[in-house]
Amino acid sequence: MESGAKGCEVVVSGKLRGQRAKSMKFVDGLMIHSGDPVNYYVDTAVRHVLLRQGVLGIKVKIMLPWDPTGKIGPKKPLPDHVSIVEPKDEILPTTPISEQKGG
């Protein structure tokens, strides 16, 4: 999270303590789970750790921040992102348009 990620999720599943398998989920920040932006905003990794008692599975998801340059995150903004554009100042003509066209 200190590196600029918007959110992360770590799931550790398997025989953590005792014979019964369970899974523990650790979540911090914002994470999207559905829609097309998941394909380019969420980076996912899965690893299996072989221990003497059995196998532990570790899943890590990191949600990348929006980066207009595209270096540390996707260029496309999220669909719910609203950008406000300042209106241009209109220059009003001093003479009416009907007189300018050729009267």
Which residue reads 């979540």 in tokens? 27
Single pTM value for the model: 0.73
Q: Is the pLDDT of residue 29 over 80?
A: yes
Give the CATH number, domain containing residue 77.
3.30.1140.32
Instruction: Give the total number of structural domains in the chain.
Output: 1
Q: Is residue 2 part of a domain?
A: no
Q: Which amino acid is at 89?
A: D
Share of the chain above pLDDT 90, in %: 54
List of residues 6+ apart from 97 with CB closer than 8 A: none
What range does the domain containing 55 cover? 7-91+96-100
Share of the chain above pLDDT 70, in %: 92
Q: Which amino acid is at 72?
A: I
The Cα 58–Cα 67 span in angstroms is 28
